[in-house]
Structures are given as C-alpha cells and as structure tokens.
Amino acid sequence: MSQRHLEPSAEAAIDWMVRLSSGNTDAQVHSEFSQWLGSDPAHAQAWARLQERLGGACQTVRNFERRAPSQAGEARQLLLQTHGSRRELLRAFVGIGVLGGGLWLGARSEVGQELLADLRTAKGERRDFTLADGSRLSLNAGSAVDLQFDGQQRLVILRRGELIIQVAADPLRPLRVRSAQGEMRALGTRFLVSQQAQATRLVVLEHSVRARLFNGSELDVQEGQAALLGGERIEALGNGERQRADWLSGRLNVLDDSLESVVESLRPYYRGFVRVEPEVRGLRVQGVFPLDEPQRAFAALAETLPLTVDHYSPWLTLIGAKTPVQK
C-alpha cells in the first residue's frame, strides 16, 4: 500500500515543532521561525492544523524523532490525518511505539493524560459540568481534568488550563484539586485554579482553601485572596484577583498584567498562531477584552499600547513594537 505524501508545508511545520521544543533555541531561531510563518499563508495554516491536532504536544513529536527514527515517517502521517478522534490518534501512536520496539505513549505520558482526560474543552469552548457529588465544575477553553471520585475521596486533577469549582458539602470526603505543583483542599465552597507554565494560580472566591505543595508547605488562602504555587514555595498574592473569574462570562478582565500574560489568556480562544516579540512581552496592560473575539482584543491592545498587530492570514498574528515615526 502506498504511503500518503505530506505537503511540504506540513513537513516543515512538524520540523519546526521539533526544533522549537528542543530547548536549544535562541532569538535567531525564533526570528527564522517568524519569517517562515509569514512567508506563505500555507505555512501558518499547516502550523495551526498541527497544533490543533496535538493540543501543543511537542513532546510527542520529539519522542518519535529521538527514540524511534525508523517510525518517524509514519508518525508524521498520523499527526496530520484529517479523520479520526484524538483517542484514535493516541491509539495509533501507541501502536507505532510497540512496532518501533518499546516507545510507549500511553496514558501515563503527559500527552496521553491530556488526550484521554475525563473532561476537556477545545479551543474557544467553555463548559459547565455537574460532578457525581453535585459539585459544579466550569472549564475554561483548552482545559483538561481527570476525576477520581469514590467512597474515600473526591479528587479533581487539572491536567491543563483553568477551572472554577463550586464544591458540594461532604464532611467525610474533602474535595481536592491537584495541579503540577501541589493540591488545593476546599475548606469552603468556590475557587479558581489555573495551571500555568511553571506555577499554579489559586483564587478563592468563597470561604477558604488550603494550598499544599508536594514538599509539604501549606498556606490557608481566605476568601477574596489569591496565591501562586511554585515548585518550592507558596506566594501569597493578597486581594485583587477576583476578576480572573470573569472568563465565565466571556470577558478577560485585566487590572495590571504583562502583555505576554494577556496573550496567553487569549491563546485558547484563537485558532491561529500568535507570536509576541520579546521586546514588548513585558508591557503592562489594563482593560476588559472579549475572549470570544480575540481579533477584537488584539485590535484593542494595538490602540492602547505602542504595538503593531499584523495579521498575515486567519492563522497567523505577529505582535511587535511600533516603529517611531521618522521626522
């Protein structure tokens, strides 16, 4: 049976994903990547399609390239298949791993955990769920959680993204939310948890929550307060974080955040690729932006900050510094 040939832009997109996730990139590599994205609309479309299929799971591609090079071609074919569910895609990867001599990308891998999560949301999608105990769980776009509810425990594992939970009372089984950095135990009823790149953000909306790192450090966070769970310590953030729950109403309410942080909040709602140049990532932002219309949000940022927001196609947006007018 003949092997389906991938378009050059699709091949290049996979190569860029591997290269950018290698951990050995610099400003020159990112500049070359931006040039490649902007040089042809097909490049941006291929990149967006690849990210949509994998949910940003660059590690999957790296593992195939490094540990099973003989199977890399077949893996590339699977990445850009236009049919089949995410579960089917993962099963296909597992099959290739077995044939390749031991490459295992099953449920214990980070990618597998997200793809097979009990509850998940896609780009631009917010959803509400009623859990088995009557608790109400809301997931922001691009989020994934697993549930471990039985006679002894109520545990929500946040794999990716952001959640708000309204906890049903159960004195025998305190509800816990686990993230990459630690656990949050409900001492009250309603709180927000956001999984960020190197930390977990906790915002207590009602009553209180006990935050605990895996190293044993603990902090009780009261209603209206917030905390950031890092690898070694919990940083109390005080008040002024309640507005972070406004995504429930489709709004991104920013009081004083970096441009990089604002764009990260908009990414789960934008189906294309957004690149923010390093020199503007630290700009401070205030305002209220529509999550469901990220293009409008980008336009509003350009109106209030010294930025240029260039749309090269529906799939590609580049945000950079505004060049001063020459006199």
274 in a domain, yes or no?
Answer: yes
Instruction: Identify whether residues 205 and 110 lie together within a single domain.
Output: no
Whether residue 107 is predicted with pLDDT greater than 70 in this model: the reply is: no
Instruction: Identify whether residues 94 and 142 lie together within a single domain.
Output: no
Burial of 16 (0-12, 13-18, 19+ CB in 10 A): buried
Task: Provide the pLDDT for residue 231.
Answer: 83
Task: Provide the pLDDT for residue 321.
Answer: 92
Whether residue 26 is predicted with pLDDT greater than 60 in this model: the reply is: yes
For residue 248, what are the CA distances in angstroms to 126, 242, 244?
8, 12, 9
Q: What is the mean pLDDT of residues 43-53?
A: 72
CA count, 13 A, side-chain hemisphere, 106: 6
96 in a domain, yes or no?
Answer: yes
3 in a domain, yes or no?
Answer: no
Contact (CB, 8 A) for 212 and 191: no
Instruction: Identify whether residues 217 and 124 lie together within a single domain.
Output: yes
Residues 6+ apart with CB under 8 A from 13: 43, 46, 47, 49, 50
The CATH number that applies at residue 131 is 2.60.120.1440
Task: Provide the pLDDT for residue 220.
Answer: 95
Nearest residue to 141 (alpha-carbon basis) of 325, 309, 292, 319: 292
1 in a domain, yes or no?
Answer: no
Instruction: Identify whether residues 154 and 107 lie together within a single domain.
Output: no
Residue 14: both structure tokens together: 């996979």
Instruction: Identify whether residues 234 and 255 lie together within a single domain.
Output: no
pLDDT per residue over 85-97, tens digit each? 444 444 544 444 4
Residues 6+ apart with CB under 8 A from 309: 298, 299, 301, 302, 317, 318, 319
Instruction: Identify whether residues 27 and 107 lie together within a single domain.
Output: yes
pLDDT per residue over 168-215, tens digit each? 999 899 999 999 999 999 987 899 999 998 999 999 999 999 999 999
**DSSP category for residue 56:** T
Residue 314: both structure tokens together: 């529906």
> Would you give the distance in Å from CA 23 to the centre of its chain?
18
83 versus 242: the higher-pLDDT residue is: 242
Task: Provide the pLDDT for residue 312.
Answer: 80
Helix (H/G/I), strand (E/B), else coil: 106: coil
Contact (CB, 8 A) for 176 and 186: yes
Task: Provide the pLDDT for residue 291.
Answer: 96
Quick one: angle between helices 58-67 and 8-20, nearest 10? 90
Instruction: Identify whether residues 146 and 214 lie together within a single domain.
Output: yes
- Specify the range with the lowest mean pLDDT, choosing from 111-125, 146-160, 306-320: 111-125
Residues 6+ apart with CB under 8 A from 302: 308, 309
Q: What range does the domain containing 184 cover?
A: 119-244
Contact (CB, 8 A) for 252 and 289: yes
Strands (E), the chain: 119-120, 127-130, 136-139, 144-149, 154-160, 162-166, 175-178, 182-186, 190-195, 200-206, 208-213, 218-222, 226-229, 234-238, 251-258, 273-276, 284-290, 307-313, 316-321
326 in a domain, yes or no?
Answer: no
Nearest residue to 41 (alpha-carbon basis) of 64, 9, 69, 73: 9
309 in a domain, yes or no?
Answer: yes
> Would you give the distance in Å from CA 208 to the centre of its chain?
26
43 versus 298: the higher-pLDDT residue is: 298
pTM over 0.75: no
pLDDT per residue over 223-232, tens digit each? 999 999 998 8
Nearest residue to 53 (alpha-carbon basis) of 102, 19, 104, 87: 87
Instruction: Identify whether residues 103 and 147 lie together within a single domain.
Output: no
What is the count of structural domains for the chain? 3
* DSSP letter for each residue of 270-306: -SSEEEE-GGGTT-EEEEEEETT-HHHHHHHHHHHSS
Locus of tokens 């009553």: 207
Of 202, 222, 244, the last residue of a domain is: 244
Task: Provide the pLDDT for residue 52.
Answer: 61
Whether residue 133 is predicted with pLDDT greater than 90 in this model: the reply is: yes
Instruction: Identify whether residues 144 and 210 lie together within a single domain.
Output: yes
Residue 317: both structure tokens together: 């947006």
pLDDT per residue over 252-306, tens digit each? 999 999 999 999 999 999 988 899 999 999 999 999 999 999 999 999 999 999 9
Instruction: Identify whether residues 294 and 220 lie together within a single domain.
Output: no
Of 224, 244, 264, the last residue of a domain is: 244
